[in-house]
Amino acid sequence: MSERTPDRHAPDRVEEAAREEGSGASAPLPAGKLAPDFLDRLLPTDLPPEVRLGPRIGEDACAIGVEAGTLVAATDPVTLTGSGVGAHAVVVNANDVAVTGARPRWFLACVLLPEGSTARDAKDLFTGMRRALDAVGASLVGGHTEVTGAVRQPLVVGQMLGMAEERTVPTGGLRPGDAVVQIGPAPVEGAAVLADLLPPESLAAVSARTLDAARAALEAPGISVVEPALAAAGAGAGALHDPTEGGLSAGLYELADASGVAITIDRDRIAWFEPGVALCRAAGVDPWGTLASGALLAGFAAERLEGALRELGRAGHAAAVIGRAESGKGVAFANGAPLPRFERDELSRL
């Protein structure tokens, strides 16, 4: 690979972003993802030629041309849960690679443990990580471990890599006329976090059966979208995206923004994970804006749609057409009302 060309424009864009923030430049940023418009001005624009897919709003991974083909890489931390953090980090990073159509293969992990952690804590974290890697067919190939006072709970920053055999599928590949398909319900991850987070008094109206299903949600139905993403890519998906922080709402807006289109959705076709909806109701949060790992959004051209739905069904992946892409921007319901957009995930608000 060639040596990276310095980004001559980045400092100017960063300074411009700070100036445009005006008097709010020194104000604390809210919890959650950086605002898309602000983040866009921080990202580099001058990239070396081997970068086929670089840092863009809504994209889950990057794609780099190498002699053997296309290397896909993604990185994500797990900060919202300390339970099974190693396994969780594997899955969310594997998802980000898989939605490009590449199978996850190599994983690196920066593991930060709080002071007071025990050898058992570290062993349990790595055991969970290895099991998750076995499940997605990837290997731990490097990283860093440390006990530090800089964190209050275990933190794993993961990096997953894979090789794309043929093409890479972007988030921003949706075109006017394409169908938007949801594979897997939401909010699955949100259900598990809420089951662990909410105090007993908030759960008094939730049935034991619903609560048990929410607590088990990371395993069943699970938050991995690796296999459905690879199946959708094989069926000809032009765009793929896994909604995470900010829920289905953020995922749909990221899909629309990255593609430069508008999306009209059918509210009645959304696949909800009912235990997650029930716990959102108990917590007073909106399921549209609640952690949605476990769901997948795919875009298919009209001529590929029927065959793709058949292929996904044969592979055991329940899929439903929830909307259409059109010229314009934003996400709205069929009656024209805009889908609420959440500045941060509803669980961060808690």
* Separation of first and last alpha carbons in the chain: 45
pLDDT reported for residue 78: 85
Backbone angles phi, psi at 272, to 5 degrees: -100, 145
- Count CB-CB contacts under 10 A for residue 205: 10
- The answer to whether 63 and 203 have CB atoms below 8 angstroms apart is no
Helices (H), the chain: 10-21, 36-42, 85-98, 119-136, 188-197, 208-215, 226-234, 247-259, 274-283, 302-314, 346-349
Q: What is the pLDDT along the chain (350 residues), one digit of tens a residue?
A: 333 333 334 445 445 555 555 546 678 888 777 787 888 788 777 778 877 777 776 676 878 888 778 899 999 998 755 558 999 999 999 999 999 999 999 999 999 999 999 999 999 999 999 999 999 999 999 999 999 999 999 999 999 999 987 789 999 999 999 999 999 999 999 999 999 889 999 999 999 999 999 999 999 999 999 999 999 999 999 999 999 999 999 999 999 999 999 999 999 999 999 999 999 999 999 999 999 999 999 999 999 999 999 999 999 999 999 999 999 999 999 999 999 999 889 998 87
Report the Cα 226 to chain-centroid distance in Å: 12
Report the Cα 72 to chain-centroid distance in Å: 15
Task: Give span(s): CATH 3.90.650.10, the chain.
Answer: 171-349
- Count CB-CB contacts under 10 A for residue 313: 11
Backbone angles phi, psi at 296, to 5 degrees: -135, 140
Task: Give span(s): CATH 3.30.1330.10, the chain.
Answer: 60-164
Tell which CATH classification among 3.30.1330.10, 3.30.379.10, 3.30.1360.70, 1.10.287.610 matches the domain 60-164: 3.30.1330.10
Q: Which CATH superfamily is domain 171-349 in?
A: PurM-like C-terminal domain (3.90.650.10)
∠ CA 81-224-83, nearest 5°, is: 20
- The answer to whether 237 and 299 have CB atoms below 8 angstroms apart is yes
- The answer to whether 178 and 324 have CB atoms below 8 angstroms apart is yes
Nearest to 298 by CA among 278, 330, 272, 323: 323
Q: Are strands 262-265 and 319-326 parallel, antiparallel or unpaired?
A: antiparallel
Nearest to 168 by CA among 88, 80, 71: 71
Q: Return the SS3 of 112.
A: strand
Nearest to 194 by CA among 17, 346, 327: 346
Rounded to an integer, what distance in angstroms lies between the CA atom of residue 283 and that of residue 294?
20
Q: Are strands 103-114 and 296-300 parallel, antiparallel or unpaired?
A: unpaired
Nearest to 244 by CA among 289, 287, 293, 172: 293
- The answer to whether 96 and 159 have CB atoms below 8 angstroms apart is no
